[in-house]
Structure 1
Amino acid sequence: MQSGDERGRAFPRVHESTALLREILTISDEYEVVVAKELDVNHTDLVAMQHLISSGHLTPSDIARRLGITTAAVTVVVDRLVKAGHVRREPNPSDRRGVLVVPDEGSTAKARGLLAPMIMDIDSVAQEFDEGEREVIVRYLQGVVSSYREHLQPPR
């Protein structure tokens, strides 16, 4: 039998830091909705833009792989991003039949402009801690990243 505190919970009680990480992930998803609206794209297109901005350019196949969608579906994503002026297709110098999808500089600047204030606010929180405390925080977050990476693969 569950206690009153555990009813309605998806998981048993976890450490407060784990609960806060879950809250951060939820708020991050909500923030991405705001950014997507500002850029006039849907969530999938925003994630594609994030990959393109961080990589500089990608092939459509690379985008499909990163998004976990088919190459046919990525064509639709790229078409929408081209039409919105967020990316352009360029010939792939290492594959004359292929193309590269390249982020538009103006769209990249707009996206960074939307994200920069939030990123700087988060960074300023880290500055409230001394070097030793920041090292502990970094070690903890590295462990979280490692746990996420381990669980990217389906269970065996």
Structure 2
Amino acid sequence: MLLRQLIQLSDDFERHMGKELTVNPTDLQAMQHLIMRGPMSPTDIAKALGMSTAAATVVVDRLTKVGHVTREKHPTDRRGIVVVPAPESVARAIRGLLPMITGIDEVIHEFEPQEQAVITEYLRRVVKVYRESIPSAEDEAAHAEVRT
């Protein structure tokens, strides 16, 4: 099935990006969140990755060590810090992504607007199925309570 092949290729591309940036899959996910959202607190990173704050601190430590992020004072909370993606790392990631994004953009523009609408609706529905197939943190906690 083509959708399965697309998903596999997406996974392969993420592994490639991780190698290019010399990070593991978890650290790459953290970088993706930081690039998309901008500076985040370690707690927000933990929530985005579905892990403890202690585990997120280890991720941030690794990313700091290789120069992909810096820790800076929180702009409004004197006691807090934010994790900021390094501009050079963001540029490297974008350079890696841009050819693929451009290619995909060119492909969609080969279709008529009505065809684009059908493709968009199909992908919207696929995304919905995926989201509905992933239990939320609350669902997982409730399920864990039932088992104990």
TM norm. shorter chain > 0.5:
yes
Distance apart, 1:97 and its partner CA? 1.4
Identity among equivalent positions (%) equals 53
Matches within 5 A, 1:46-85: 46-85=28-67
Among residues 75, 92, 95, which one is paired with 1:110 in the alignment?
A: 92
The amino acid across from 1:100 in the alignment is V
The amino acid across from 2:15 in the alignment is V
SS of match in other structure, 1:100:
strand
SS of match in other structure, 1:97:
coil
Are positions 1:95 and 2:77 aligned together?
Answer: yes
Partner of 2:146: none
Structure 1 runs (4+) greater than 4 angstroms displaced: none
Question: Is the radius of gyration larger for structure 1 or structure 2?
Answer: 1
Which structure is higher in helix share?
2
Distance apart, 1:75 and its partner CA? 0.8
Partner of 1:142: 124
Whole-angstrom CA distance in 2 between matches of 1:150 and 1:41: 29
Distance apart, 1:94 and its partner CA? 2.5
* Structure 1 unaligned regions, length at least 5: 1-18
Distance apart, 1:56 and its partner CA? 0.8
Q: Return the TM-score normalized by structure 1.
A: 0.84
Whole-angstrom CA distance in 1 between matches of 2:3 and 2:64: 35
Calculate the aligned-residue CA RMSD, in Å.
1.4
Q: Return the TM-score normalized by structure 2.
A: 0.88
Whole-angstrom CA distance in 2 between matches of 1:23 and 1:95: 46
* Structure 2 unaligned regions, length at least 5: 144-148
Distance apart, 1:124 and its partner CA? 1.2
Aligned residue pair count: 138
